[in-house]
Chain A
Amino acid sequence: MGIEMSQLFWIVLTFFILMLIEGFYCITMTYNLLRVLIGLEILIKAVTLFIIFAGYISGNMSLAQAVVITVIVIEVVVVVIATGIILGFFREYDSLNVRNARNMKG
């Protein structure tokens, strides 16, 4: 039982890291602001998966579900606000090109 849990953990960890790579790649390599938002969404879904898996193998599913429900609420509010900001950006610049936002040097 212990060996199987450890294998399952490593497999899920692998897929979690793969999804994180996809999310980060999307954020850094895209020219369009909406795709940046999609990348952020993929990151949050990857973390949701990992939290539910943590609940599954530790048996503490009620705590993990409570955490995930709160995280989903936070995620939807952040997406709505990000959408509002993207709309404001579009109104000012008339395009969604990320390169317009690189004006200020970080």
Chain B
Amino acid sequence: MNIMIFLLVLLVLAALWAVMTSLLLRAAIALALTSIILTVLMFEMGAPLAAVFELSVCAGLISVVFISVISLTHRLPLKEYLDRRKNRIGRFWFLPVLLVIAGLAMFYFKQSFDMRLPAKILIADVRVVLWQLRRLDLFGQIIILLAGVFGVLILFGGSKKNGN
């Protein structure tokens, strides 16, 4: 249980770094780092399949997409960029303070629940659940992926026509 609390603290700190950093590229890397810590946490809780999925997709694919978009939209001259950085701290300093206050408030008002957990389900394997019981969700995923393909064709195909 101690490992879990340690990993949870790391997770919140990595997300905090992603929000508060002033360079956009570092924010994307911080997001990937958050995914990696989440993956380790999921392994620790006993969800290996979902952990591998999260690692390959979120820490991999999404970071590639983010970094390519950042490089495509980088336009500011350097001086304006540095001015922007100074302005940031004025708005964002409140976040760690807010987090500490919220954390202490939750700790103070600790409730204990009467947790009537449901009976343990006998099907232990994810693969059985995903492929046998929840085929409709798989079909929904296929539809969403098709919609994503169309989106890419429409949204990114237009840029080629405009001579980008």
Q: Do A's and B's CB atoms come within 8 Å in the complex?
A: yes
- Complex interface: chain B residues within 8 A of A19 (CB): 11-12, 15
Interface residues of A in 1-29 (CB under 8 A from B): 2-15, 17-19, 21-23, 25-26, 29
Q: Give the Cβ gap from B158 to chain A, nearest Cβ, in Å.
A: 7
Residues of B within 8 A of A (CB-CB), count: 82
Q: Give the Cβ gap from B128 to chain A, nearest Cβ, in Å.
A: 7
Determine whether A98 belongs to the interface, using a CB cutoff of 8 Å to chain B.
no
Tell me the interface secondary structure of chain B in the complex: helix
> Is A29 in contact with B92, judged by CB distance below 8 angstroms?
yes
Q: Give the Cβ gap from A81 to chain B, nearest Cβ, in Å.
A: 5
Rounded to whole angstroms, the CA-CA distance of A26 and B20 in the bound complex is 8
> Is B155 in contact with A65, judged by CB distance below 8 angstroms?
no
> Is A6 in contact with B113, judged by CB distance below 8 angstroms?
yes
> Is B115 in contact with A38, judged by CB distance below 8 angstroms?
no
Question: Which one, B49, B95, B144, contacts A25 given CB within 8 A?
Answer: B95
Residues of A within 8 A of B (CB-CB), count: 72
Determine whether B75 belongs to the interface, using a CB cutoff of 8 Å to chain A.
yes
Question: Which one, A13, A34, A69, A72, contacts B130 given CB within 8 A?
Answer: A69
> Is A80 in contact with B137, judged by CB distance below 8 angstroms?
no
Contact with B along A70-85 (1 / 0, CB 8 A): 1011111101110111
Question: Which one, A3, A76, A94, contacts B112 given CB within 8 A?
Answer: A3
- The answer to whether A38 and B28 touch (CB under 8 A), given A6-B113, A17-B102, is yes
Rounded to whole angstroms, the CA-CA distance of A42 and B5 in the bound complex is 19
Rounded to whole angstroms, the CA-CA distance of A95 and B24 in the bound complex is 14
Interface residues of B in 28-45 (CB under 8 A from A): 28, 31, 34-35, 38, 41-42, 45
Given A18-B12, A38-B31, A69-B49, 15 extra CB contacts under 8 A: A18-B103, A23-B15, A26-B18, A34-B69, A38-B18, A45-B58, A52-B50, A64-B47, A66-B134, A73-B141, A74-B144, A76-B58, A80-B65, A87-B72, A90-B72
7 A/B residue pairs, CB under 8 Å, sorted by A: A34-B69, A42-B34, A48-B54, A57-B115, A65-B130, A73-B144, A77-B144
